[in-house]
Chain A
Amino acid sequence: MATAEPQACRSGSVHDTRPRIAVERVSRSFQSSTGEVVALADVDLTIPDGQFCCLVGPSGCGKTTLLRILAGLARPSSGRAVVRHDDPRRLAHSVVFQDYSVFPWKTVRQNVELPIRARGVSKREAAAAGREWLRRVGLVGFEDSWPAQLSGGMRQRVAIARAFACDPEMLLMDEPLAALDAQMRLLLQEQLLALSQEEAKTVVFVTHSIEEAILLGDRIVVMGARPGRVIADIEIPFPRPRSPAQVRKEELFGELHEYIWSLVRGQVEDQLRLDKATS
């Protein structure tokens, strides 16, 4: 059912202990006129079922590339990635993209219902699930609007509702909040946190905001650039359910933030030096 009962705390499947995602020595390179770019080099990553895993790292370190491989939209150049798919009637994953991918020719309602209907769910059930999810992201009253009539934040909420509503086994999100203003971003962070705590789903979440990663994630994977690789893997110890306000008050929050920033900062500085050397 698309609108699963809210669960108080997140828990993985009891029956199956296989990880949701297993990435083994995955590399990906791109050929271009200026030479070869190694977007990913020998990445290993195991994500257990039900985990909210954040990917952070400097621009160009291969976060989107990794996500696209997990989504089946691109293939590794070498190595392999295994994504668990338990129920063939459900989608293995749905994706919220970096740029808006809400369809402008469909109303808000039609956008959210499309992937549900594509699974063969009846019209009535799809409509019910769509309504429920639009309510959860606060878009009641805009069901029949065209995306062009919405604000950027509202459009992104449509994309989020659409990804959740088709009830995939896993969510892949690529900077879903990046294009929003600061206030809207805080609001949607809270909503995303609440949603992810109600739905015990595996989430892979790419973000540039370290703060966002700490607030939302069970774990933060820090990536480095040139070549793209994993340079740190950090557990976030704050218990769930949690709220952004609560987390921000924790002493550990500041320390974590500083630590992860020092890692990313080193990467960014390396990159700037490299850019200067090559230009």
Chain B
Amino acid sequence: MSSPSHTGRRAAAASGGHDIELVPGRRELDPARANRLDKRWVTALAVLVPVLLVSFWQVAATARWIDVRFFPAPTQILADWRGLLDSGDYATHLGASAQRIALGYALGAAAGVLAGLLIGRARLVRKALEPTIVALYTVPKLAILPLLLLILGIGEASKLTLIAVTVFFIVLINTNGALEAVPTSHIEAGRSFGLDRIDMVRHIVLPAASPQIFVGLRIAAGMAVLALVGAEFVAAESGLGYLIWNSWNLGIPSYMYIGIVTISVLGVLANGLLRLAQRVCLPWDR
């Protein structure tokens, strides 16, 4: 048998005359370089795919393969976006939506986590409320918008409430589930060290439950966008939802695309922000 020609593991096995040689690959020989190349490729692809899609769209629109009344060329959309920017309308719509979603989400999330902790720690209360919560959770939140408009009027309050309620139930249910999943061994360890109720929540229950709570927070962020757009479609004079809906009335389809892309960018940003928050808040959870 030949001796290894380079550093690294080499094994050989005779199996009917065909030796199987196990040697280090490119990745094993220079892991740092392989990772660097990997990263470059992944980044390149992540950028390349949308760029290609948009280019294809541009070509298709210019060549009139597609109906530009419904699918205006990206350059056209960009030009209309410039116009919206210059008039200040874009900032108004973006600002209105961002404010609604930030406030509504913060309210709903905070209330959801708090209520989840309170209910989750009191068995009797939880058993009493569970069916009601599930029933309320099941109601599509947009269905209560007319009621909210009736009670709170057409102003900001109704939209904030709709978003907050949407977020509240998702976060509440996830928080409850998270509390149920906290290992008893951790709870009992806490109890045996004589922690009081507040310390128990602060040092044991909340940290143990927080990875799952964060999952709820992330799902809720997506649903909050849905509620926002829905509310702005029917009951707003500003906001990205209004921009999209109104572009139909005006017959300017590029505004729809501007609104849609902005919303999806908002969603990606929110998700990234929550991921970052999770990494900062839960450095132990890798």
Contact = CB atoms under 8 A, between A and B. Distances in A.
Interface string A136-162: 000000000011100000000000000
Given A114-B193, A118-B199, A105 B188 contact: no
Contact of A105 (B194, B195, B208): B208
A105 B284 contact: yes
Contact of B192 (A95, A119, A148): A95
A30 to B, nearest CB: 15
Interface stretch (A11-19, A96-104, A226-234): A96-104
B185 A97 contact: yes
B189 interface: yes
Contacts of A94: 192-193
A115 interface: yes
B66 to A, nearest CB: 52
Contacts of A119: 194
A107 B203 CA distance: 12
A104 B192 CA distance: 17
A118 B207 CA distance: 17
B283 interface: yes
B194 A95 contact: no
Interface in A35-59: none
A103 B194 contact: no
B198 to A, nearest CB: 11
B286 A101 contact: no
Nearest to A92: B194
24 contacts: A71-B188, A72-B191, A73-B188, A91-B193, A91-B194, A95-B189, A97-B189, A101-B185, A101-B186, A103-B189, A103-B204, A104-B284, A104-B285, A105-B207, A106-B203, A106-B284, A114-B195, A115-B193, A115-B194, A115-B195, A118-B196, A119-B194, A146-B283, A147-B284
Interface of A: 71-73, 91, 93-95, 97, 99-101, 103-107, 114-115, 118-119, 146-148, 166
Given A97-B188, A104-B284, A118-B194, 6 more contacts: A72-B192, A97-B185, A103-B203, A105-B210, A107-B284, A119-B194
